[in-house]
Amino acid sequence: MATTQQCRTALERLAGNLADADDDVRSAAALERSVSCHLTDLDTTFTGRLVHGRIEDMTTVHGPPSERAQIRLAMTSDDLVSLVDGRLNFARAWARGRVRLEAGLRDLLRLRSLL
């Protein structure tokens, strides 16, 4: 099981990857949406805002998210770290139920190139 700090570092790396991505990926992430990532094994949630391909105002709360974000992820801490490290394929993890993604249809369509 990864630690909360390892997960925060992974999310910060993900934010950096989005900011440094090529134009196609960056334009797909050019949404302005609230986001949450609930780590089921740590019962911890990271929340923030996706703003023009960057994750801003990231906070950590114990338990499930207190407010419903527009883009919601849920997974284990190890799966988060593996996804960001490139050792776990998002589509396969999602298809097997290891990762849950909830968002509006329009957001899902825009995010598909990121995933």
pLDDT score, position 69: 95
Residues of the chain with pLDDT under 50: none
Provide CB contacts within 8 A for 74, sequence distance 6+.
37, 38, 39, 40, 99, 100
pLDDT score, position 114: 58
**Contact by Cβ (8 Å): 96, 83:** no
pLDDT in tens, 53-71: 778 899 999 999 888 999 9
pLDDT score, position 25: 56
pLDDT score, position 56: 86
Owner of token pair 């996804």: 83
